[in-house]
Every structure is written in structure tokens, then in C-alpha cells.
């Protein structure tokens, strides 16, 4: 289902989602999965709908943690994993060609820098060491891009399996007690037909396949995003070294042209991953919230214990990589200042000053509604997570 273009259609979807959410709360369902279903398949609805359904689902899970805590926690986590996997699957089907374009641009820039050499003086050991470091970094960058392309190829069958299992498993998640409309209990119907064991095995296999594909989709998206960030940071450092050893205006302009192209790639990279990064942060922190509450309540199982560190690893890695890209972009200012502008001609000094002024604006990776990815952003997210965890534990 495509994103609704008509405001009236969006309002209708919003009203229908709220009605289903309230109905599920009255029926005692641990998760308002009917509303989440509309959220996923209704396209990009309003931010208010996302926030409302998310808070209401967490409150539902908190209320039911006092009863069958283990079961309701696992169902909530399964639903959250499949929901975030569905968001990723939609992104992968819509923006895969954009990611391929980013990979092609970075690979072309890497090959061009690999064929060039720093204009290092033969009698300057520092510049010779910079040349050796640059060559090693460019080779590592090429290997990282090959790894990223392999991850994208491996993610294709995972996405295809998820596209098949998602509609089937979502029916079970939407009706957690197997009460399908107009049919009654699906388990009872399968038992009457003599295929109860087959129905249970198929149900378990579909749920396992959907959850496994969701984890693999998350891992694939994480590998692609981290690789692109590491490659961008490495190329920024390489271009900073080229500016540092440049002695003529022509050499400086060559580095600036590559730097301008890299900035355009980074802008496209941040724009493509802006929405998926928000989904990853919400999903990871939601998992951590539910897992922490279950652990505090004394419900220790391998599912919760295995999910808890993974949830924090996602947000931590994203914060570190955003900080790395920003730090690498700031090296251009220091490299231009440490270059040969003092002994150059007047035009060269003016161009070096222009490089310093342009480098004062740091490059950053953005996420929707979160701002720039960095360590301060990570700290604020973890602080908010801690506050919500305290509230969630008290409510449960």
C-alpha cells in the first residue's frame, strides 16, 4: 500500500488506527497490533500517530507484565522486531538503487585516490610516512566497499523471505489468541481437521523465519551504514592529507574537487538513511526497555538476556560512527593550517584560507527527529531511555 496522498485518506487511516488501538485495549490484548499493522502498511503517516501508538503499546506491555510476564514480553519483543523489520523491508525495496548509487560513487572516488599519490617531498620523512599511511588506508577502504556490496547481495534473499513470511506471521500477531474473524479459533479449527500438529509447526516456523529475517535485515542495514560511514571518514582523512602536503594551487584544487564530490555523497547518504536510522533507534531502545523491565521483574530467560546487549550495541555503534565522521571532517581545517601556505604565493595562501573557512562547518550524519549522530546525542538518548525505564518499571 502506497503512502496516502489525500489528507482525508490520512485522517481516515488515523481514525481507524485509533479505534482499533482502543478496541484492543478493551479486549485486553497485550499489544495494539491492529494499529501497528495500519502504521506499517499505511505508508508514512503523521509523527503523532507513531508516537501515540508507540506509547500506548508500551503501556499495554507494562500492564500485562504483571501476569504472564515471560510470554507477553516475548510476544511484545517479537512484534517489535517484526515491525521494525517491516519498516526496513519497505526502505530496502524503495531505496536500494540509491544505496547502490552511493556505493558506486564512493568506489569511483576510492579508485581515483588509489591511483594518485601524495606530492610528498623525497627528503621529507613525515610526508613519506603520510604517503604510506594514505596508500594503506585507501586499500582498506576498497576492501570495506567490497564487504558492503557482499552484505547487500546477501540481504536480497533475506528480504525476499521476509516479504513472504511477513504477511502470514502478521495475521497471528494481529490476532494473538488465534481468533480469526468469521472463523473462530484457528487452533481449534486445525484440531478438528486433524492437522493441529502441522498448524502448530507451521505457525512456529513462520514466526521463527520472520524474526530471524528481521534480525538479519537489521544486521545488513547496520553493516551497510557502518561501512559507508567508515569509508567516508577514511576518504575525508585522505583528502585532508592531500591538502596538507599540497604545494601548488593545482594540487589544492584537485583535492578540493574530490572533497566537494565526497560532501555531496555524504549529503545523499544522510538523506537516504535519515528515516531508517530513526526506526533503528526506536526499535533498539524499545527492545532494551522491555528487556530491562523483564530482568528487573525477575523473568530471566535466554531470549531477554541475548537481546539486551544487542539493543545497546546498535545505538552505541551509530553514535560512535557519527562522531568519527564529524571528527574526520574537522581534520581538513587542521591539515590546511599545517600545510605549506606560509611559504606559498599569495593566491595559494588565499585558497588555503578558503579551505580553512569551509572546513569550519563540520560534516555530520543525521537521523530523523534525533539530529546529528554523535556521542552527545547518544548520551541524551540513553538518559531518556533511563527515565522511561524507571517509569515503565513503576507502571508494570
pLDDT band at 20 (very low <50, low <70, confident <90, very high): very low
d(CA 176, CA 168): 13
In a domain, 151, yes or no: yes
Domain span holding position 331: 95-164+212-395
For the chain, what is the mean pLDDT? 71
Residue with the bigger pLDDT between 43 and 389: it is: 389
In a domain, 118, yes or no: yes
Which whole-number Å values give the CA distances from 138 to 117, 142, 258, 317, 321, in the listed order? 11, 6, 14, 22, 18
In a domain, 20, yes or no: no
pLDDT in the model for residue 349: 83
Output DSSP code: residue 367: E
pLDDT in the model for residue 83: 59
23-27, 126-130, 201-205, 379-383: range with highest mean pLDDT:
379-383
pLDDT by residue (tens digit) across 321-343? 999 998 998 888 888 888 877 77
In a domain, 271, yes or no: yes
Residue with the bigger pLDDT between 51 and 386: it is: 386
d(CA 102, CA 268): 8
Residues of the chain by 3-state class (helix, strand, coil), percent to 5: 80, 0, 15
- Taking a C-beta distance cutoff of 8 angstroms, is the pair 144, 231 a contact? yes
pLDDT in the model for residue 311: 77
- Over residues 118-122, the mean pLDDT reads 54
Percent pLDDT > 90 in the chain is: 1
pLDDT by residue (tens digit) across 172-231? 555 554 444 444 455 566 666 666 677 777 777 777 776 777 777 777 778 888 888 989
In a domain, 77, yes or no: no
Grid coordinates given for 95:
531505496
Q: Where are the beta strands (DSSP E) in the chain?
A: 179-180, 184-185, 366-367, 371-372
In a domain, 281, yes or no: yes
Residue appearing with cell numbers 536500494: 96
pLDDT at residue 2 is higher than 70:
no
- Taking a C-beta distance cutoff of 8 angstroms, is the pair 61, 31 a contact? yes
pLDDT in the model for residue 325: 92
Grid coordinates given for 297:
521483574
Structural domains of the chain, count: 1
In a domain, 129, yes or no: yes
d(CA 217, CA 95): 14
Q: Which residues face 179 on adjacent strands?
A: 185
In a domain, 144, yes or no: yes
pLDDT by residue (tens digit) across 131-142? 778 778 888 888
pLDDT band at 35 (very low <50, low <70, confident <90, very high): very low
Q: Which residues, 6+ apart, have CB-to-CB distance to 128 below 8 Å? A: 120, 122
| Count of all residues that appear for the chain in the document | 396
- Over residues 60-88, the mean pLDDT reads 56
- Over residues 37-44, the mean pLDDT reads 42
pLDDT by residue (tens digit) across 251-274? 888 888 888 889 889 988 888 888
Name the residue among 93, 85, 90 with its Cα closest to residue 173.
85
Amino acid at each position: 500500500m502506497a503512502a496516502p496522498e489525500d489528507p482525508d485518506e490520512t485522517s481516515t487511516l488515523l481514525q481507524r488506527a485509533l479505534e482499533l488501538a482502543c478496541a484492543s485495549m478493551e479486549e485486553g490484548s497485550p499489544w495494539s497490533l491492529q494499529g501497528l499493522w495500519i502504521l506499517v502498511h499505511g505508508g508514512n503517516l503523521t509523527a503523532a500517530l507513531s508516537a501515540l501508538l508507540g506509547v500506548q503499546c508500551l503501556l499495554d506491555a507494562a500492564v500485562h507484565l504483571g501476569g504472564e510476564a515471560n510470554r507477553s514480553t516475548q510476544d511484545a519483543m517479537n512484534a517489535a522486531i517484526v515491525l521494525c523489520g517491516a519498516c526496513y523491508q519497505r526502505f530496502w525495496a524503495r531505496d536500494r538503487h540509491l544505496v547502490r548509487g552511493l556505493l558506486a560513487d564512493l568506489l569511483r572516488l576510492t579508485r581515483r585516490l588509489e591511483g594518485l599519490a601524495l606530492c610528498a617531498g623525497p627528503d621529507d620523512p613525515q610526508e613519506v610516512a603520510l604517503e604510506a599511511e594514505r596508500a594503506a588506508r585507501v586499500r582498506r577502504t576498497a576492501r570495506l566497499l567490497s564487504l558492503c556490496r557482499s552484505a547487500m547481495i546477501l540481504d536480497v534473499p533475506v528480504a525476499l523471505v521476509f516479504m513472504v513470511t511477513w504477511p502470514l506471521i502478521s495475521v497471528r500477531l494481529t490476532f494473538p489468541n488465534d481468533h480469526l474473524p468469521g472463523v473462530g479459533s484457528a487452533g481449534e479449527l486445525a484440531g478438528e481437521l486433524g492437522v493441529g500438529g502441522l498448524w502448530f509447526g507451521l505457525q512456529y516456523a513462520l514466526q521463527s523465519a520472520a524474526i530471524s529475517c528481521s534480525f538479519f535485515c537489521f544486521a545488513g542495514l547496520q553493516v551497510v551504514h557502518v561501512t559507508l560511514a567508515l569509508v567516508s571518514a577514511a576518504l575525508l582523512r585522505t583528502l585532508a592529507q592531500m591538502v596538507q602536503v599540497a604545494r601548488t594551487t593545482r594540487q589544492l584544487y584537485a583535492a578540493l574537487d574530490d572533497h566537494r564530490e565526497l560532501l555531496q555523497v555524504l549529503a545523499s547518504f544522510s538523506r537516504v538513511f535519515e528515516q531508517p536510522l530513526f526506526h533503528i533507534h526506536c526499535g533498539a531502545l524499545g527492545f532494551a526497555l522491555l528487556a530491562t523491565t523483564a530482568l528487573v521483574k525477575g523473568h530471566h530467560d535466554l531470549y531477554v538476556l541475548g537481546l539486551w546487549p544487542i539493543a545497546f550495541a546498535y545505538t552505541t555503534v551509530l553514535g560512535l560512527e557519527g562522531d568519527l565522521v564529524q571528527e574526520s571532517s574537522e581534520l581538513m581545517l587542521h591539515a590546511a593550517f599545517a600545510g605549506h601556505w606560509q611559504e606559498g604565493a599569495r593566491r595559494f595562501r588565499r585558497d588555503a584560507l578558503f579551505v580553512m573557512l569551509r572546513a569550519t562547518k563540520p560534516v555530520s550524519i543525521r537521523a530523523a527527529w534525533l539530529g546529528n549522530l554523535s556521542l552527545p546525542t547518544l548520551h541524551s538518548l540513553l538518559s531518556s531511555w533511563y527515565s522511561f525505564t524507571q517509569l515503565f518499571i513503576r507502571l508494570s
